[in-house]
Amino acid sequence: MKNKWIFVLLLALVLFDASSAFAAMGGSGSLPYEGWLSTVVSSISGPVAYGISLLGIIGAGAALALGGQEMSQFIKSLLYLVLVMALVIGAKEILSNVMGKSALIVIGG
């Protein structure tokens, strides 16, 4: 009976120990993944990504326009996927070039 109470007491100490609260670590209220996430966002919205997306749009559009009848459905689906991904990645630069304004990507609150 005494061993049971010692076990319960030790279990309570381990469960309610404040030093094992890993969520409280990080400093200045930032989440652990915000650093690399902001790096990815700046890489996706930069001029290199715009150039790659422009090449993807031109390449996939030309392949669909010139060889659309001879391609299998799988290849067409892959080209549509490339086309959509290129449009999504380059949307900010495309909007700023067409309309003279750019989209605003807000990071954090």
Q: Is residue 84 part of a domain?
A: yes
pTM: 0.47
Q: Is residue 12 part of a domain?
A: no
* Contact (Cβ atoms closer than 8 angstroms) between residue 94 and residue 87: yes
* Angle, CA 105 vertex, CA 103 and CA 108 arms, to 5°: 160
Q: Is residue 26 part of a domain?
A: no
Task: Count how many Cα atoms sit within 13 Å of the Cα of residue 57 in the half-sphere of its side chain.
Answer: 14
Place of tokens 């605003």: 104
Read off the pLDDT of residues 39-95 as tens digits, 9 standing for 90 and up: 877 777 777 777 877 888 888 888 888 877 777 888 888 888 888 888 777 777 777
Q: Is residue 5 part of a domain?
A: no
Number of domains in the chain: 1
Q: Is residue 18 part of a domain?
A: no
Place of tokens 């715009």: 50
Place of tokens 């319960």: 8
